[in-house]
Amino acid sequence: MAGLAALFLITFVIRTYYIPSISMIPTLTVHDVLLVDEVAYRFGSPHTGDVAVFMPPIPSEGNAFVKRVIGVPGDTLRIDDGIVYRNGIALAEPYENQQPKYDLEIKNYEIYVDGEPLDPKTADVPAKRFWQAPNRIPDGFYFMLGDNRNYSDDSHVWGFAQAKKITGRAFLIIWPFGRVRVLR
């Protein structure tokens, strides 16, 4: 019976993910293995600060991404002189490895990085009709950043993550044993 319960959990509720890159340093390092709750977002929405697993909006050979949720639908967001501002308030980001070396702003139904809009052919920036306001994250979309900001392909490169592509919330590092800890 315990074996069936474990099989059910591993198949439908909890998955493991291996970290292959430096994009989430210092929170996650190369070779970390995570437990991910795949039910968390079926009954609720991602929250700012969550470490989420999702399919990226750009083709990436089918590999899931792991990034931090920085902005949720309805938020304003900008990065100015290395500081991230959500809804006009500078974020305290103890998990950040280094401040971003780019400026960013969501305005006029676009995401601007260093004054240039992301190309909708290579980034997920929905058409104007899907936005509720020209400077707020649209419903059904999230803004994701790696903690290692200058070494992360994230929303500053490929636009928003769609809610329907967010598959789970990472909650525990289980390997290597010296790094076992709960994520937040």
For 10, how many CA atoms within 13 A lie in the half-sphere containing its CB? 7
Q: Of residues 21, 45, 60, 67, which has the active-site annotation?
A: 67
Long-range contacts of 85-92 (CB under 8 A, 24+ apart): 86/48
- The rounded distance, in Å, linking the Cα atoms of 38 and 16 is 10
Q: Is 128 a catalytic residue?
A: no
- The rounded distance, in Å, linking the Cα atoms of 20 and 80 is 29
* CB neighbour list of residue 18: distance below 8 Å, 6 or more residues apart: 31, 32, 33
Question: What is the token pair recorded at 7?
Answer: 């099989």
Q: Of residues 21, 23, 101, 121, which has the active-site annotation?
A: 23
Q: Name the residues annotated as catalytic.
A: 23, 67
